[in-house]
Amino acid sequence: MQKTTQQQQQDSHLNLWDKVEIIVGNESERGTYISRIEGFNRDGIIIAKPEFIAGNRLLTADATVYVQFIRPDALYRFHAKLRGLPAPSSGLVQLCSIGSVERVQRRQFVRVNMQLDLMYAYLKPLRAEGEDNHLWHHSYSINLSASGLLMKGDDYIRRDDLTLIKINKCESLGIPRLIAARCCRIVKIGEKRFAGVEFITDRKLPRFFSRSEIGLLPSQVKEFTANTQNILAKFVFAYQLKERQRD
């Protein structure tokens, strides 16, 4: 039994202006498009005219497509049919006959291979607020998600160590220059040690630091909020789409 549009919106938490990926065809012949949510009606979901991204399959009227969108916990998709809207709605497209939402990727956040130059410093014992009061180690990442990254570590980094991360391309990622992180695991690749670190949002800081310690943290650490993490998740999703184009 198919769900109503109201149920669909509630389940998937789609909102106005959310970006979606439209996929038509199969693995051998498919096209990938990007669009955004423009509205909802009793027939389904209204989207902007899809913009071609990659592939060799064109969108046609009444085509059956997959609609994919990202949320912090996973990548989701549902199938639908395309239908053009009459004037004055030219340029808008109706998604109708909407199927149930499927969870495509079950990991908490989409992860992509990405090398970023960065620096990290140990946060305990805490010193007075300020970057110059920390001993910085040069490093780089192997992969990235909105929840954290895998970075080259020194011989002393251990599980549960708390660090301060400074990523060179922080502005393009939409994140603060400084982020607090916890080492979750150690991985050996060849002779090198890599640390999987989890970013700490502002709300989770009290789990790892006392009130007085939080007062000593650089102010930018407290700017890494859940909303900032969602911005990073969208960046990673967009990067993943570009990698698909390249493939």
User: Read out DSSP for 84-138?
Assistant: E--TTSTTEEEEES----EEEE-SSS--EE---EEEEEE-SS--SSSGGGS--EE
Residue 124: predicted pLDDT: 80
Specify whether 99 is located in the same domain as 17.
Answer: yes
Residues 9-26 have pLDDT tens digits of: 444 478 898 889 898 987
Assign residue 220 the CATH number of its domain: 2.40.10.220
> Is the domain of 168 the same as that of 223?
yes
- Best CA proximity match to 164, nearest among 132, 186, 192, 212: 132
pLDDT of residue 86: 66
What is the number of structural domains in the chain? 2
Q: Is there a single domain that holds both residue 59 and residue 130?
A: no
Q: Are residues 99 and 120 in the same domain?
A: no
Residues 89 and 121 in one domain: no
The pLDDT score that the predictor gives to residue 70 is 75
Residue 16 covered by a domain? yes
Final residue of a structural domain among 65, 89, 106? 106
Same domain, 228 and 140: yes
Is 244 among the domain residues? no
Q: How does the average pLDDT of the chain come out, rounded?
A: 84
Burial class of 241 by CB neighbour count within 10 A (0 to 12, 13 to 18, 19+): middle
The pLDDT, as a whole number, for residue 132 is 61
Q: Indicate the residue among 83, 106, 129 that finishes a domain.
A: 106
**Inside any domain, residue 98:** yes
Q: Which residue has the higher pLDDT, 240 or 247?
A: 240
Percent of the chain, pLDDT > 90? Answer: 50
Q: Are residues 176 and 96 in the same domain?
A: no
Residue 135 belongs to a domain: yes
**Do 30 and 70 fall into the same domain?**
yes
Q: Are 56 and 32 in contact (CB under 8 A)?
A: no
Tell me the per-residue pLDDT of 35-76, one tens digit each, with 9 for 90 and over: 999 999 988 999 998 988 777 888 888 899 999 887 766 678
Residues 101 and 195 in one domain: no
Q: 247 in a domain, yes or no?
A: no
* pLDDT value at 3 more than 50: no
Same domain, 48 and 77: yes
Q: Please check whether residue 245 lies inside any domain of the structure.
A: no
Instruction: Identify the residue with better confidence: 207 or 87.
Output: 207
Range of the domain at 155: 112-238
For residue 121, tell me if it sits in a domain: yes
211 shares a domain with 116? yes
Q: What pLDDT does 9 receive? A: 43
Q: Select from 153, 141, 148 the least CA-distant residue to 192.
A: 153
Domain C-terminal end among 75, 106, 137 = 106
Evaluate if residue 167 carries a pLDDT over 50.
yes
Please check the confidence at residue 28 and state whether its pLDDT lies above 80. Answer: no
Residue partners of 116: CB distance under 8 A and separation at least 6: 140, 141, 144, 149, 167, 168, 169
Please list the helix, strand and coil fractions of the chain in percent, rounded to the nearest 5, in that order: 20, 45, 35
* Predicted local confidence at residue 95, as pLDDT: 94
Residue 237 has pLDDT above 90, yes or no: no
Q: Look up the pTM and report it.
A: 0.59
Query: Could you report the per-residue pLDDT of 82-134, keeping only the tens digit for each?
Result: 987 766 656 799 999 888 888 775 555 678 889 999 999 999 876 555 556 78
Position 74 scores a pLDDT of 67
Quick check: 7 pLDDT over 70? no
pLDDT of 32 reads 83
> 190 and 97: one domain?
no
**CATH code, domain with 53:** 2.30.110.10
Q: How many residues does the chain have?
A: 247
CB 104 within 8 A of CB 232: no
CA distance 103 to 123: 37
